[in-house]
Structures are given as structure tokens and as C-alpha cells.
Amino acid sequence: MNRRTIHVLATTAAAALLLPGCTGTGGSTKGADAKAPDDPAKVSGSITVLTVRTDLVQDGTMKRYAAEFNKTYPKVKVEFQALTNYEAEIKIRMNTDDYGDVLLIPAVIKKNDYPKFFASLGTVAERGKKYRFTDFTTVDGKVYGQSPVGVMPGFVYNKRIWKEAGVTAWPTTPAAFLTALKAIKAKTDAVPYYTNFAAQWPLTSWTYVDGAVHCDPQATTKLAEGDPWAQGSDLRVGDTLLYDIVKQGLAEKDPTTSNWEESKPRTAKGEIATQWLGTWAIIQFQDAAKKAGVNPDDIGFMPFPAQTGGAYCATVGPDYNQAVNVHSKHKEAARAWIDWFTDKSGYDKDNLAISPLKDAAMPTVLKPYEEAGVKLIELDDSAGARVKLIDDRSEVGIFKPEYRQDLVDLARGAKKGSLDDFLSGLGKKWTETQASVGDR
């Protein structure tokens, strides 16, 4: 009997040890295509769409999109799964073939592995004519994902408060920006800047100053090749500004208990003056203003305070890219959903976002940008995969909250050390890893 138990134990252990060998992604389906259907009326099947927009699933907005979709594709049934903690959850699920039919390409998947996980949507030559951001998901000339909106980082601010403080023109340098915040602190009751430390991701978005500071489309390539925190580099300029804001007492009193949801109505009402977020946030702040019964037009948007050749600069990038699961049984239906959601759903307009279509007009919220002659650039993402690899290996985490939480703690005095040491420490970690990663 005992021997039998040991045998059972041994087999289970052996089976367990074999598992890592097959991490759930069969190579057999590698290189599948998700073709666009010819006849919308004939496409059928039930598809599961994974999304991060828990709010839209919760309030029925997604269902309404699906109903609209069904007018064109009557035989496709669309189900939604909203993941709260998307990256962590999807990573675990992608060890199996059970990760929905349509999903958002997670950051964890290495670019070169896209063909193993996703079905291609077409060649970069044909898609690049119509769509923006194709090279963010291109592997060997094929495109694997498409973002339904373009996003642009920038400061969401309360126009009324800035005016009350006597600042009418956008600051053109970090120093001028700090001066403006000081004026807000002196002349109004508002918190000049709100870090949203507790929600974590708003701090992470400070990495997206990269490219805007020096108006450089090759900013990502520079991250892969040099020290991101070298003197005068984009990230250093951004981090120094954030550090100075907190250090000079221009941010909220207790960042650790900041509250993202509360920050929206508070900004609308003028209790908070400024936050570094992105164009996607404007609609939410306007909604918060309507709910609080204040003027939604008080919500403004401004670029990073730096000018290159006398002009501001802003980077336009994709949000999460939608892709088709390579194991999906209804690839045509899944593809139909992505095409429809990108081209016809109006999701971009509903969110006042930049359209992913090259020939579409800019959203009206960006009118001030056009008037001010802000130059919009798209970053070249060919080195994006390498940057991610260096980032993970070095555990710096430029797209992770920890590094900026540390920065804010440093500025508040909750952590000891100087800014220079902190940034050069990051740079050292980064460049050492760079050397070890080589050209893989």
C-alpha cells in the first residue's frame, strides 16, 4: 500500500515537473491569421472580449456597443469579461489557451512571441495605410493588434483656478510651471498638484513625458541605448519636475491616502488644480463636473512645459491594442469585432480620444492644441521590446509604480537620499543590465 502511495506521489510529481515544458501554448497554431469576413450576415459564433474597462461593463455601455455591432453582424454573440487587475490576471491565463477570443495585448508578452499568442490582422503595408500605431504590434511585417483610440499624455487642469492664480498662458519651462503652481498655492485654496500616489498608475504615466520634452520620435530607441536619466534627458527632466513639485509642498498633504475617484470631482470643483494624466481622462473629469453641478468647460488640458524650436510637443501613442487569440474558434467573428470597434463603434468619439484612423479629424478637446501650434509626434517603437526587456531584467520598472512612489517618498522626506543619487542609481542599474542583455 505504502509503495503504491509513493508511486502515486512520484507520478504526480513527475507530471508536475513535466508541466513547465508545455506552458499551454501549442506551437501548432503559430502564424494563424484572423481574416476579415466577406459577408457580415454569415459570420456566426460566440466570442468573449476581455477588457480593462470594468466601468463600461458595469454600467452596460459595452452591452450597448454589442447590440449596435449585432445590427451588422446578427449571428455573433459577444460576451465581456472585465479584468480589474488586468496584467496579473491575464498573465496567469495566458499559460493556457483560455484567454478570450479578443483581448488586449498585455505588456508581459514579448513582441517576438506575438505570433504564438495572437492571430495576425494583416500586413503592415496594407494596414499602415489606414491605421495609426501599426508598428507597435508588428512582427515580421505582420500586424497583431490595433488600438481603438490614440492617447496623448498631458496635464488635466482646472482653467478657472489657474486663471484665479493669474496664470493665463501655459508655462514653457519646468521652472515656470513650478512658479505657476506656487501662485496657485498662494492665491487659491486649491491643491496645486495631485499625485494620485495611492492609485499607482497615475504616477506611472510620468514615464510618458519621454519624447515630449525634446520632441524626439526616437526617444524609445534612446532608452534602449543609453542612460535614461542622463543629465538633460527627458525622463530626468520629468522626474525632477515631479520631485520639485512634491518637495516644495505643492502636492497633496498625504499622498498615501490619495483617492483617484475623489480627485475627479475635486478637480472639477477647483479643489485640485492640476494632474498629469492623458487625453483619455478629459471625458471622465467632464462627467464628474456635470455630476457635481459645475461647468465642465473648466477642465483644460495642457502639454508638458517644454518647448523645442519655440513649439510645444506631444506624443500620440496607442492605448491597449486589441488582438485575436490564436486559439480562438471564431477568428472571423473576433476579427469582425475588432474592425467594427476600431472603425465604426464611435468608442473614440465617446471618449473624446484621438481616432486610430489616419484620415480622421482631431477631437474638439484638442482645439487649444491646434491653436497653440502643438506639434504631435508618434514615437518609433522598434526598440520597444528591448526597452521592456531591460526594464524587467534591471527591476527598474519605468512602467511600474514603485519607482515613482519612491521618488515621491524621497521628495516628501519619507525616504532618505538625494535626487541625484536616486536617479543615477536607476541609471546605473539600467546601463549595467543593458550591457548584459546584449543585442537579444
Partner 1 sequence: MTHAGTHTPARDTGKAGIRTVAPAPGRADPPPAPRRARTWRLLTPWLFLLAPLTLLITFTYAPIANMVAYSFTDWDGVSPELHYTGAENYAEIFTREDLFQVFWVSGYYLAASVIQIVAALYFATILSFSIRFRNFFKGVLFFPSLVNGVAIGFVFLYFFQDGGTLDTVLGLFGHHSDRAWLGTPASANVSLAGVSIWRYLGMNFVLFLGAIQSVPGELYEAAELDGAGRWHQFRYVILPGIKPVLTLTVILSVSGSLSAFEIPYIMTGGATGTETFVIQTVKLAFQFNKTGLASAAAVVLLLIILLVTWVQRRLVPDDRVDLV
Partner 2 sequence: MTRRAVARTLVYLSLIGATLVVLLPLGVVVLTSLKTENETASGSGALTLPDDPLNFDNYVTAFRDGGMLTAFGNTAFILLVSVGGTVLIGSMTAYAIDRFTFRLRKLVIALFLVAALVPGVTTQVATFQIVHSLGMFDTRWAPIALYMGTDIVSIYIFLQFVRSIPISLDEAARLDGANAFTIYRKIIFPLLKPAIATVVIVKGIAVYNDFYIPFLYMPSQDLGVISTSLFRFKGPYAAHWETISAGAVLVILPTLIVFLALQKYIYNGFMRGATR
Residues near partner 2 (CB under 8 A) are: 2, 5, 16, 19, 23-24, 52-55, 57-59, 79-84, 89, 92-93, 95-96, 98, 199, 201, 259-262, 265-266, 284, 291-292
Distance CA 318, CA 210 (A): 15
User: Residue 357 in contact with residue 344, Cβ under 8 Å?
Assistant: no
User: Residue 304 in contact with residue 205, Cβ under 8 Å?
Assistant: no
Nearer to partner 1, 164 or 409 (CB): 409
Nearer to partner 2, 233 or 263 (CB): 263
User: Residue 319 in contact with residue 148, Cβ under 8 Å?
Assistant: yes
Beta bridge partners, 193, equal: 251, 274
Rule CB under 8 A: say whether 6 interacts with partner 1.
no
At 371 the three-state DSSP class reads helix
261 binds, among partner 1, partner 2, none (CB under 5 to 8 A by kind): partner 2
User: Which of 83, 270, 65 lies closest to 162 in space, CA to CA?
Assistant: 270
Give the footprint of partner 1 on residues 176-215 (CB under 8 A): 197-198, 200
414 binds, among partner 2, partner 1, none (CB under 5 to 8 A by kind): partner 1
372 backbone dihedrals φ, ψ, rounded to 5°: -80, -5
Distance CA 75, CA 271 (A): 50
Tell me the residue type at 215.
C
Nearer to partner 2, 9 or 41 (CB): 9
58 binds, among partner 1, partner 2, none (CB under 5 to 8 A by kind): partner 2
Nearer to partner 2, 16 or 361 (CB): 16
- Smallest distance from the beta carbon of 25 to partner 1, in angstroms? 5
Distance CA 229, CA 209 (A): 13
- Smallest distance from the beta carbon of 89 to partner 1, in angstroms? 9
376 backbone dihedrals φ, ψ, rounded to 5°: -100, 130
Nearer to partner 1, 116 or 247 (CB): 116
Element (H or E) spanning 351, and its range?
none
Binding site for partner 1 (CB under 8 A): 1, 5, 8-9, 12-13, 15-17, 19-20, 23, 25, 27, 87-88, 91-92, 94-95, 108-110, 113, 116, 197-198, 200, 252-257, 259, 391-393, 395, 397, 400-402, 405, 409, 412, 414-415
